[in-house]
Amino acid sequence: MDNKHFNVLFLCTGNTARSIIAEACLNREGQGRFTAFSAGSHPKGTVNPHAIELLKRLNHETSGFRSKSWEEFAVPGAPKMDFVFTVCDQAAAEACPVWPGQPMTAHWGVPDPAAVEGTEPEKALAFADTYRMLSHRISIFVNLPMASLDRLALQKRLTDIGTQG
């Protein structure tokens, strides 16, 4: 299982910041073993400019990011997901579509940096903190010994990662 390629979907409500940041982090850190996607239950249609600015500053490729609906990943012909992670509190409480192949799921909620009101430095700090939390969780995730974990043990590990700061 360690040599297998995995598809991962990060879900949030608006698909403007947290899920986009998670997608960028996993596509960089998991290169070769993981392909990350992101979507929203109620996509806003645009990616938050603070998220794009942060990702560019950290040398992430940002040209392909767009705010999109999770429905794109629940239709025939869409990539089969191995893992689906919610990264905001609202998405965890919403009814998710039935995913083909029964992917592993977990909630990795983080505060919404786009909701922070204040000065530009305060907003930038909120986005940087979100990046730090998600990057840390993704680093743990990509280093899990997938081949040696049964489904139940893997599910526990995925859930536990969501509590990491």
42-61 confidence digits (pLDDT tens) = 899 999 999 999 999 999 99
**Residue 57: φ, ψ to 5°:** -60, -30
Domain-wise residue ranges, the chain:
6-160
Q: Give the burial class of 108: count Cβ atoms within 10 A of its Cβ; 0-12 exposed, 13-18 middle, 19 or more buried.
A: buried
Which CATH superfamily, name and number, covers 6-160?
Response regulator (3.40.50.2300)
**Using the 8-state DSSP alphabet, how is residue 138 labeled?**
H
Residue 6 contacts residue 82 (beta carbons within 8 Å) = yes
pTM equals: 0.91
Q: Which member of 9, 12, 110, 134 is catalytic?
A: 12
Tell me the longest C-alpha to C-alpha distance in the chain: 47
88 catalytically annotated: yes
Q: Which member of 17, 24, 55, 88 is catalytic?
A: 88
Q: Which member of 96, 104, 125, 144 is catalytic?
A: 96
Residue 161 contacts residue 106 (beta carbons within 8 Å) = yes
The tokens for 137 are 């969780």
pLDDT value of position 89: 66
Residue 156 has pLDDT above 60, yes or no: yes
pLDDT tens by residue, 68-91? 999 999 888 999 999 999 888 654
